[in-house]
Amino acid sequence: MPRITGDDLERITTEVARRWNGYRMRLMLCGGTGCVSNKSFQVREVLEAEVQKRNLEDEVAVVVTGCNGFCAQGPVMVVQPEEIFYQLLTPRDVPRLVEEHCLNGRPVPEFMFTPPGEDVPVPVMSDIGFFGKQRLVALRNRGLIDPENIDEYIARGGYRALRQALTEMAAGEIVEEVKRSRLRGRGGAGFLTGLKWELCRKAAGTPKHVVCNGDEGDPGAFMDRSIIESDPHSVLEGMLIGARAIGATIGHIYIRNEYPLALKRLTRAIVQAREYGLLGDDVLGTGFRFDVSVQRGAGAFVCGEETSLIASLQGLPPEPRVRPPYPVESGIHGEPTNINNVETWATVPEIIRRGAAWFAAIGTEESKGTKVFSLVGKVRNTGLVEVPMGISLREIVFEIGGGIAKDRQFKAVQTGGPSGGCIPAALLDLPIDYEALSRAGSIMGSGGLIVMDEDDCMVDVARYFIEFLKEESCGKCTACREGLEVMGAILTGICAGQGREGDIALLAELGEAVQDASLCGLGGTAPNPVLSTIRYFRDEYEAHIRDRVCPAGVCKALFHYHIEEAKCTGCLVCKKSCSYDAIEGERKAPHRILLERCTTCGACYDACRFDAVAKIPGGAPVPA
Amino acid sequence: MVGLTIDGKRVEVAQGATVLAAAEKLGIEIPTLCHHKSLLPYGACRLCLVELEQANGAALQAACVYPASEGLVVRTDTERVLRTRRMMIELLLARCPEVPRIRDMAREMGVADTRFPKKNEDCILCGLCVRVCQERMGVGAVEFVSRGVTKRIATAFDKQSPLCMACGACAAVCPTDAVNLEKVSSRPLRPIPSEFDEGLSGRPSIYIPFPQAVPHKPVIDTNHCLRLLDGTCGACEAFCDAGAIAYDQEDRVETVDVGTIIVATGFDRFDSRQITRYGYGRLPDVIDGLEFERLSHASGPTGGEILTTAGKPPRAVAIIHCVGSRDENYQEYCSRVCCMYSLKFAHLVKEKTGAEVYNFYIDMRTAGKGYEEFYKRLLHEGVHFIRGKCAEVTDVAESPEEEGKLVVVAEDTLLGMTRRVPVDLVVLSSALVPHADVADVARTFSLSCAHGGFFLEKHPKLAPVEAAADGVFLAGACQGPKDIPDTVAQGAAAAACALALMDEGKVTLEPVTAEIDPALCAGCRMCIASCPYEAITFDAERAVSVVQEELCKGCGTCVATCPSGVARQRGFTDIQVYAELEGILA
């Protein structure tokens, strides 16, 4: 491919548009990791074969896109230009879909999304509640382009912001523009991006580095992965603009090795950008020099912390160090280094292209723009959502998320990944905003939203996250290493029915000390899950400790199973499901659980179709 | 320079200095564990937390890593700081409940016990060993392994490291004594024996020779210092605030012009290894007097506890007198001090351990003020005195009660029988002998040696501190075995004599000096070789020997030596001597 200049962007756009318009319809099949794991690549093979079989190659294009966002319904496919949304596709469904929709022009309602409680399917994607409330900035190209084709990114307006930054704006103006937009770091801490750029720009020393932090380590979070998978060039363009503003010549993208698809697409994007001359010695023929390299991380959560990340980039063990000096002054090899998260970088081109005022008009007073969340847990519509700042948690959970699955009662939503806090139902109307979340005892974090219902035990949730963070602590400082271990031990004790009076106070005391004394952000926020659950769900802790009862029926030592004779039909299903021979009973006669053998694994509870297996609060009674 | 305020006091420090350094400058104490002045700031133990006033509220930071900046306001004593520090030490106490350093710090900070499950580790993961090995030695033989709660410190593959130089820096910096050097290094360990502690303990390669050393300043052992040997380490230089470490210093010989000289070169100990049957150097619990002295001393290797090499207090101790003294095979003379120091040892053993003490002696010589009374006191204390020379010390048991013990075999001349005494520790009261280089010293200062090799005084009764050569005096055991009071007395006397000579400002020459007639001298220089006072020089120009009258003692050796008969002695010329004879005979 030849090197391009600024003028070629329009030519490419026209060519792509001509190609797109040459097709009667384009089948945008989601190739995000969620859909891929639900066999979307098999669907694609069948789809392509089917299109070929019916001689539709010239009329119908099959495009594999990045993550569509509605992961709960994967594999999903959007038929353009009508924007018909198909879901839960299997290779078996494909022949009929192609036959009906592509050949006969009749969309197939059977494969469409039907909102819960309704009968009529919703054919058009933007009419679906999940998509309706979203506002896409960082995810602007999701599902609309082939992420492995740079031309399609350009056709969607890509690299225009870079051209503008290189030819029309002075470096200082770019910084000013980003400052005016009041964009804040999407990695979690929410530092003003423009201010950080300015500090790095003014810092003495060359060369300067820009780093893209793609070490997304939160369990259940996949914002950064999805952005890279669906639109890698948006990240590259953001970094190019940032480098231009700061005066950096070296770029690093730190990405988890556990993200093979993202890694592949990113690498391909870099190769294409280099071929086009968008990276390298003479970007767009303007003489600007910048290139990036990809550094694969080995999956340590602590590498998301910027000083650890820098250590890891330098080949050292990922241990954080004290700031100041901040990386903008002394980062990689002691040189000025500006680190931003994937989502921040992806947002930058839109700010330059559409102006700071446009961006600043979205959101709240202190938090501008939009934020991507991975909405997971007990919510119906799990997936990736991008919403304007200031939207309430209720809107996200109930309108976009479609409410709690199985019509259970909402209990809490955990924001900000493992070191975030749990926000109770009473605060559901809290607007999403860095400060508001912080006041509620949680953090924005990188954007994990885990929804919990009445079947979730908050003590167990706190225990889980503390155990996770304990494993992921780098172990350098006493507070985090020893403190989290002790907190984990106390929580495990409480969940095992060995809680003691005073444990809650001790946890709170420890939590506060660990927050205060830890060296880095990991330890500094690690007690959040414990402190916030103590704050909002103290009664659950007290029930565990005083009454030896787990109200949600999660902590195995604090409840036991019992088969209700009245409901049991004697179907033997539970007996067969039990791996421990702990159920006795004859066909058509009520069964009984032998508590001395029962391990409380819950297989019978899940297997029973008559709700006859019940959780009885309190540990198994000791046989007389 | 940047100015900051700590606990309301303003202090200025260099750009880049830490808050901890600034606090040190103000004399504000902040507890630390993982901090070491010669290593880069690390910030792991979190004991040095201080509170910083910041725009968005007060925050805690580790003083050892946080850089001082202009206008920074620091508090080291707020309730929040102290509370959080207490929690940190409580967590460390749970990790290492048995480590004395952690226990002491916890107690000082008001934490009596920990509320958390005890782990009984001995390493607090402060990383000092890792850092000193990497930063100072440039080796990296020990490293952190794993992360989080499973983090630990190890060598590669948990095998003894071939990279390790066995320098011991890791063990030296470890605040909890958790480093076992034998497990770290595949090389043999090379502990540096402390000369002052008679090799009973080790010492670093930079050290103050002993607590009372004058000048009381450290020296670098050039044979062991890694900085001097291969350019690594240099920790002492980084550590010394005064900048007093200079690796380029070298030994030098200084020439000093003096009028008088006091020779006080002391003595050597008799090498008890020569008497192989006593087992010294072969049996670990056979020690000599000076070793016992260090062992029983409060500043010694065991802090004053008398212990055998097994680390236990002895139940029976033998003290063998006259090892190498009063012995035809070695020294015939009496070393004079051994009886009394042996009695002292016996008393110390009795007092400190309550062990049975057996003295094997030839004669008890307790001449001296109060000495006999001390001997009597020991007899009352129940110390055993066995009169008879020790035949041998052996670890070969002949009866069950001798198993695992040292057996002292000796003839008891009072009972007329041979005795076998099983003991745990044997102290040899070894002889005082002249230095091995006594001949060199004698030649340098024109001294004569008496029987046994000690320097000869001018007159045993009338000039006991003067040497034969004018202006040279003797003090202490170089002149003959003597105890401390005698040495002090003789030293004072020698000093007084030297002072008297200097105070006078002039010397009285002997009237009876030799002279050489230059007209007749053949220049054979035989007189120069014969002169014991080096008073004759050779005048090369005239090719004659010349007597320096100031040095000549009038001994007449040159007169007798001169083959030409041109050396004459004033007042004792041949004519005068003959005249005297004639006068007598007349």
Look at the block and give the residue holding tokens 């009072």.
Answer: B414
Per CB-CB distance under 8 Å, the chain A contacts of B153 are: none
Contact: A489, B116; criterion CB under 8 Å: yes
Continuous H helices in B98-241: 100-108, 128-131, 169-173, 181-184, 226-230, 235-239
Nearest to A25 by CA among A67, A56, A46: A56
- In B99-138, the residues whose Cβ lies within 8 Å of chain A are 115-117, 124-125, 127
d(CA A371, CA A432): 9
What count of Cα atoms within 13 Å lies in the side-chain half-sphere of residue B283? 28
CA distance A605 to A582: 13
Cβ neighbours of A321 in B, within 8 Å: 43, 65
Amino acid at site B114 = T
Rounded distance between C-alpha atoms, residue A421 and residue B450, angstroms: 92
Per-residue pLDDT of chain B (586 residues; tens, 9 = 90+): 999 999 999 999 999 899 999 999 999 999 999 999 999 999 999 999 999 998 888 999 999 999 999 999 999 999 999 999 999 999 999 999 999 999 999 999 999 999 999 999 999 999 999 999 999 999 999 999 998 889 999 999 999 999 998 888 999 999 999 999 999 999 998 889 999 999 988 898 999 999 899 999 999 999 999 999 988 999 899 888 899 999 998 889 999 999 899 999 999 999 999 999 999 999 999 999 999 999 999 989 999 999 999 999 999 999 999 999 999 999 999 999 999 999 999 999 999 999 999 999 999 999 999 999 999 999 999 999 999 999 999 999 999 999 999 999 999 999 999 999 999 999 999 999 999 999 999 988 888 888 788 999 999 999 999 998 888 999 999 999 999 999 999 999 999 999 998 898 888 887 889 999 999 999 999 999 999 888 899 999 999 999 998 888 888 899 999 998 899 988 888 888 899 999 999 8
List the one residue out of A143, A140, A141, A83 whose CA is nearest residue A113: A83
Does position A416 have pLDDT exceeding 80, yes or no? yes
Inform me whether the C-beta atom of residue B175 falls under 8 Å from chain A C-beta atoms.
no
Tell me which residue of B70, B71, B57, B74 sits closest to B20, measured CA to CA: B74
Q: What gap in Å lies between CA A250 and CA B154, rounded to an integer? A: 36
Q: In degrees rounded to 5, what are phi and psi of residue B68?
A: -70, 140
Q: Best interface-test mutation with B: which of A195, A303, A312, A322 has the largest number of B CBs within 10 A?
A: A322
Task: State how far the Cα of A472 lies from the Cα of A299, in Å rounded to an integer.
Answer: 10
Residues in B closer than 8 angstroms to A438, CB to CB, are: none
CB contact under 8 A, A516 and B80: yes
Q: Do the chains contact at A478 and B127, CB–CB below 8 Å?
A: no
Q: Mean pLDDT across the stretch A56-80?
A: 91
CB burial readout A322-357, b (16+ within 10 A) else e:
bbebbbbbbbbeebbbbbbbbbbbbbbbbbbbeebe
Chain B CB contacts of A300 below 8 Å: 147
Q: What is the DSSP string of A211-232?
A: EEEE----TT--HHHHHHHH-H
Q: Which residues of B touch A324 (CB under 8 A)?
A: 66-67, 69
Statement: residue A84 has pLDDT above 90 = yes
Helix (H) or strand (E) holding A535: helix A528-536
Q: Do B88 and A478 touch (CB under 8 A)?
A: yes
Tell me, what's the pLDDT at A441? 87
B149 bridge partner residues: none
Contact B62 A322 (CB under 8 A): yes
pLDDT value of residue A196: 96
B59 interaction partners in chain A (CB closer than 8 Å): 516
| Distance between A484 CA and the closest CA of chain B, angstroms | 9
Mean pLDDT over residues A364-374, rounded? 93
Q: Does A324 contact B69 at a Cβ distance shorter than 8 Å?
A: yes
Share of chain A above pLDDT 70, in %: 99
Using the Cβ of B149 and the Cβ atoms of chain A, whether some distance falls under 8 Å is answered with yes
From A356's Cα to the closest Cα of chain B, the distance in A is 27
For residue A506, which residues of chain B lie inside 8 Å, CB to CB? 115
- B44 contacts in A (CB within 8 Å)? 476-478, 519
Which of A322, A485, A519 lies closest to B149 in CB terms?
A485
Contacts 24+ apart (CB under 8 A), A283-286: A283/A162, A283/A166, A283/A240, A284/A4, A284/A5, A284/A6, A284/A159, A284/A162, A284/A163, A284/A166, A284/A167, A285/A3, A285/A5, A285/A6, A286/A6, A286/A166, A286/A167
Pairing verdict, β B514-516 and B567-569: antiparallel
pLDDT (mean) for A459-486: 94
DSSP letter at A38? T
CB atoms within 10 A of CB A292: 23
Which residue in A300, A324, A513 is closest to B87 by CB distance? Answer: A513
Looking at the DSSP bridge assignments, the partners of residue B391 are none
- HSE-CB at B166 with a 13 A cutoff on CA atoms is 12
Lookup result for tokens 């000025």: A336
Nearest CA in chain A to B66: A322
B575 by Cβ neighbours in 10 Å (0-12 / 13-18 / 19+) ranks as exposed
Can you tell me which residue has the tokens 């070629």? A8
Of B61, B144, B148, the CB nearest to A473: B148
Predicted confidence at residue A445, as pLDDT, reads: 84
For residues A592-620, give the mean pLDDT: 89
CB-CB neighbors (< 8 A) of B43 in chain A: 321-322, 476-477, 519
Instruction: Tell me if chain A has a CB within 8 Å of the CB of B153.
Output: no
State the burial class of residue B432 (Cβ atoms within 10 Å of its Cβ: 0-12, 13-18, 19+): buried
**Partner residue opposite A482 with nearest CB, options B49, B94, B146:** B94
pLDDT of residue A623: 59
Give CA torsion, residues A522, A526, A532, A537, to 10 deg: 150
Element (H, E) at A52: helix A40-53
Residues of A in Cβ contact (< 8 Å) with B87: 483, 509-510, 513, 517
Å between A445 CA and nearest CA of chain B? 19
- The DSSP letter of residue B8 is T
What's the token pair of residue A209? 């580095």
Output the pTM of the full model. Answer: 0.83
Rounded distance, CA B348 to CA B374, Å? Answer: 13
Alpha helices, H only, B288-370 = 289-295, 338-353
Chain A residues within an 8 Å CB radius of B65: 321-322
CB contact under 8 A, B62 and A478: no
Which two tokens mark B409? Answer: 């075999």
Structural contact between residues B95 and B121, judged by C-beta atoms closer than 8 angstroms: yes
Separation of alpha carbons A76 and A113, rounded Å: 10
Q: Is B144 touching A (CB cutoff 8 A)?
A: yes
Which of B32, B42, B91, B125 is best to mutate for the A interface (most A CBs within 10 A)?
B91
CB of B165 closer than 8 Å to CB of B187: yes
Contacts of B529 (CB under 8 A, 6+ apart): none
Q: For residue A194, report the phi and psi dihedrals to the nearest 5 degrees.
A: -60, -40
Q: Are B514 and B547 in contact (CB under 8 A)?
A: yes
User: How far is the CA of A465 from the CAs of A439, A460, A478, in angstroms?
Assistant: 20, 9, 19
Q: Which of B209, B211, B219, B213 is nearest to B245 (CA)?
A: B219
Distance of CA B304 to the CA centre of its chain: 16
Contacts of B399 (CB under 8 A, 6+ apart): none
Among B residues 51-70, those touching chain A with beta carbons less than 8 Å apart: 59-62, 65-67, 69
Of B59, B91, B144, the CB nearest to A317: B144
The pairing of strands A583-584 and A592-593 is antiparallel
Q: Which long-range contacts (CB under 8 A, 24 or more apart) does A321-327 make?
A: A321/A519, A321/B43, A321/B65, A322/A519, A322/B41, A322/B43, A322/B61, A322/B62, A322/B65, A322/B66, A324/B66, A324/B67, A324/B69, A325/B67, A326/A199
Quick: pLDDT tens for A248-294: 999 999 999 999 999 999 999 999 999 999 999 999 999 999 999 99
Residue A1 pLDDT greater than 80, yes or no:
no
* Average pLDDT of chain A to the nearest whole number: 92
Distance from CA of A321 to the nearest CA of B (A): 7
pLDDT at residue A419 in the model: 86
Q: Return the pLDDT at A624.
A: 53
Q: Helix A503-517 vs helix B79-95: angle between axes, to the nearest 10 degrees?
A: 110
- Interface residues on A facing B, Cβ-Cβ cutoff 8 A: 300, 302, 317, 321-322, 324-325, 470-479, 481-486, 489, 506, 509-510, 513, 516-519
Q: How far apart are CA B288 and CA B268, in angstroms?
A: 13
How close B61 comes to chain A (CA, Å)? 7
Report chain A residues whose CB lies below 8 A from the CB of B84: 513, 516-517
In the block, tokens 């029983």 appear at: B296
DSSP state for residue A400 in the 8-state scheme: I
B189 vs chain A: nearest CA distance in angstroms? 30
Contact A513 B43 (CB under 8 A): no
Look up residue A286 and give its two tokens: 């303007």
A100-142 pLDDT per residue, tens: 999 998 999 999 999 888 889 999 998 898 998 899 999 999 9
Contact call for B44 and A483, based on CB within 8 A:
no
Contact B44 A476 (CB under 8 A): yes
Contact B87 A510 (CB under 8 A): yes
pLDDT at A622 over 70: no
Among B42, B88, B109, which would you mutate to test the A interface (most chain A Cβ atoms within 10 Å of its Cβ)? Answer: B88
* CA dist., res. A348 & res. A364, Å (int): 19
Summarised one tens digit per residue, pLDDT across range A163-210 is 999 999 999 999 999 999 999 999 888 899 999 999 999 999 989 999
Q: What is the DSSP secondary-structure string of B538-569?
A: EETTTTEEEE-TTT-----HHHHH-TTS-EEE
- Could you say which of A324, A472, A506 has the minimum Cβ distance to residue B148? A472
Q: Chain B residues with CB inside 8 Å of A472's CB?
A: 147-148
Closest partner residue to A482 (CB to CB) among B59, B95, B146 is B95
> What per-residue string of b and e applies to B275-286 under the rule 16 or more CB within 10 Å gives b?
beebbbeeeebb
Q: Given CB atoms, is B40 within the 8 Å cutoff of chain A?
A: no
B46 in contact with A at a CB cutoff of 8 Å?
A: yes
